[in-house]
Chain A
Amino acid sequence: MAEAVLTAQDYDRSFLAEVEKLSGQNVRLCYVCGKCSAGCPQALDMPLLPHQIMLMIQTGWRQPVLSSATPWMCASCGTCSTRCPKDIDINAIMDTLNEMAGKADIDIRPKIRVFRQEFLSSIAKHGRLYELGMALKLNLRKGEPLSDADMGFNLWRKGKIHLKSPSAMNKSRWAKIFKRENR
Chain B
Amino acid sequence: MNKFKELTAIAAPLLRINVDTDAIIPSREMKRVSKEGLGDGLFAGWRYTEPGSRIENPEFILNRKPYRLAQILLSGANFGCGSSREHAVWALAEWGIRAIIAPSFGAIFYGNCVRNGILPIILPDERIQVLASLVEADPDNNLIEIDLEKCTATGPDELTNTFDIAPSDREMLMEGLDAIAVTMRYDDEILAFQARDRLKRPWIYL
> Are A and B subunits of one complex?
no
Residues of A within 8 A of B (CB): none
